[in-house]
Amino acid sequence: MAPGNSILISIGLMAASASAVQAGDVTDLGWLAGCWVQKARGLTVEETWLSPSGGALLGVGRTVRDDDGTLRSYEFMKIDSPNGVLTFTADPSGQNSASFPVKARTAEEITFENLAHDFPQQVVYRKAATGLHAHIQGVIGDKIKTINFDYERCQP
């Protein structure tokens, strides 16, 4: 093989892997589907995701105060692929909706990022040994802030 050909093949493989990260197929995100709950710091945080269907995952979340059962916040969520790029869109209570295109993706983790958004700039979901880990992260002022969610399956 000529030396120039190996460079072209390497560039082609890098481009193929970059497009695979952005590929718009949600079917292999089925591990996200189901009801997830975290109880911590006097709050119950729940997320429920429908199984992938119709090219999208649809989800809803809510946060309830444990002491008085008051709904603190809620959010409607969607993962789909407008323009062929997997995108997480959140529509939280009291705020404008925001979209986060995929930045990185493996078989057990997906990272969405929108650096133009105020907070968060990043949304991450990762399959965990005993449940689901999620976190949101971004810069507030000049400091990075991360909020972790370590979910377990909801009990019926």
pLDDT at 2 over 60: no
What is the pLDDT, as a whole number, of residue 130?
87
The whole model's pTM is what? 0.84
Mean pLDDT of the chain: 88
Q: For the chain, how many structural domains are there in total?
A: 1
- Mean pLDDT over residues 42-55, rounded? 97
In angstroms, how far is the first alpha carbon of the chain from the final one?
60
d(Cα 102, Cα 21) in Å, to the nearest integer? 7
20: confidence class by pLDDT, cuts 50, 70, 90: very low
Is 88:82 a contact under the CB 8 Å cutoff?
no
Is 114:120 a contact under the CB 8 Å cutoff?
no
* Residue numbers of the domain that contains 125: 3-153
CATH number at residue 94: 2.40.128.20
pLDDT at 6 over 60: no
68 Cβ neighbours under 8 A, 6+ residues apart: none
24: confidence class by pLDDT, cuts 50, 70, 90: low
88-124 pLDDT, tens digit per residue, is 999 999 999 999 999 999 999 999 999 999 999 999 9
Per the model's pLDDT, the better-predicted residue between 54 and 11 turns out to be: 54
155: confidence class by pLDDT, cuts 50, 70, 90: confident
pLDDT at 46 over 90: yes
d(Cα 52, Cα 78) in Å, to the nearest integer? 10
